[in-house]
Amino acid sequence: MAIVSLLLGLPSWCYPLIALGVVLSIRLKKSSKVDNKSGKPFGPESNVPVSVNYFPSRKCNYSCGFCFHTDTSSYVLPIDEAKRGLRLLKEAGMRKLNIAGGEPFLYPRLLTELLQYGKEELSLESISIVSNGSKITESWMEKNCQWLDILAVSCDSFNPETNRKIGRGDDGGNVLRLFRIANWCKKYGIKFKLNTVVNVHNWDEDMAADIERLAPFRWKVFQCLIVAGENEDATRLRDARDFLVTDEQWKTFCDRHKHLPCYVPEDNTSMASSYLLLDEYMCFLDKGEGMITKSESILKVGVRKAMDQVVWDKASFVDRGGVYDWGKSNTQEINNCGGGGGGDKRLDW
């Protein structure tokens, strides 16, 4: 009643201004939600780091011959600094965090802290991990499943000898681990995804039957890539030149598997600069055009200035469906390669 009495006591010329203020307030409230909800427009003109791929460590227990993020440093950021960086990214507009490496599961406690902080403190819409699968355990999955939306596992072949040639371990257990991890994902409500790099050792392999059995919600297929400063010649830790495939070999592999609903190919052109990459020092990396450039750390100069120092091809990011409903889903109800995972065609990670 006091508010009503106050309004009635105002001069009549105040009422239009009050009405205008209410309208503007509603519009501003609506627009402020656009950059914080999945499925809302994100155009090439936007400079919001909506999805960030973070490499907390370069250390890896495998030696894949074509790796383009090699073990050139053993540095791991102190957890408090890593959290500070993630908060800066969240404040700048990050909604999805993908943790890769190196092999992230060499640091299971660090992973747990990052996941829990990202979900409980930052309320990130989605967190995913990319792993070679060798160090994943069911006990870790059970303890951390509430914070993990997507688990991607690298799988370049279902042939033990081919995996040895590539450098993906030599114990022959890759395939058995893959199926165990796929079952754990289903059991604990995590979306299961596969990544494959097409190279000289696997381009003629028919993976369709095994992919259907594994039933990933997404199978991302990459063309082997050369990145200057990482794997371009014998002076680097990895020399990927002997792993490259011709355009015809790439097309042959793609044609053999394109009938699978979960299959998403990505050639070198598509990969160039369309990912927002953050290294172990929290510097942005640009690996487009076959070269690598590096920003200053966001911990030193902030997110905006660091982003200005690299090229992020936002048009390519948008074209490949970079923003989607990336939260948890009922993995029993999503159509995919084999009926057990998920399959929205926009899920391009």
64 is catalytic: yes
Is residue 43 assigned to a domain? no
Instruction: Judge if pTM exceeds 0.75.
Output: yes
CATH number at residue 128: 3.20.20.70
CA distance 29 to 31: 6
Residue 276 to residues 34, 89, 303, 317: CA-CA distances in angstroms?
A: 20, 12, 12, 9
pLDDT value of position 10: 56
Assigned domain for 149 exists:
yes
Q: What is the number of structural domains in the chain? A: 1
Q: Which of 14, 64, 145, 337 is catalytic?
A: 64
Single out the catalytic residue among 14, 60, 145, 262: 60
Is 250 domain-assigned? Answer: yes
CB 53 within 8 A of CB 277: yes
155 is catalytic: no
Residues spanned by the domain of 166: 50-319
333 belongs to a structural domain: no
> Is residue 147 domain-resident?
yes
Each residue's pLDDT expressed in tens, for the chain with a length of 349 residues: 444 454 456 566 555 555 555 444 444 333 333 333 444 554 554 679 999 999 999 898 887 766 765 556 789 999 999 999 999 999 999 999 999 988 999 999 999 999 999 999 999 999 999 999 999 999 999 999 999 999 999 999 999 999 998 888 777 788 999 999 999 999 999 999 999 999 999 999 999 999 999 999 999 999 877 665 554 545 465 555 778 889 999 999 999 999 999 999 988 777 666 789 999 999 998 866 556 788 999 999 999 999 999 988 777 776 655 555 567 765 444 446 754 433 333 333 3
Known catalytic membership, residue 14: no
Inside any domain, residue 109 = yes
Residue 36 lies in a domain: no
| Marked catalytic residue, from 67, 155, 262, 337 | 67
Within-domain flag for 16: no
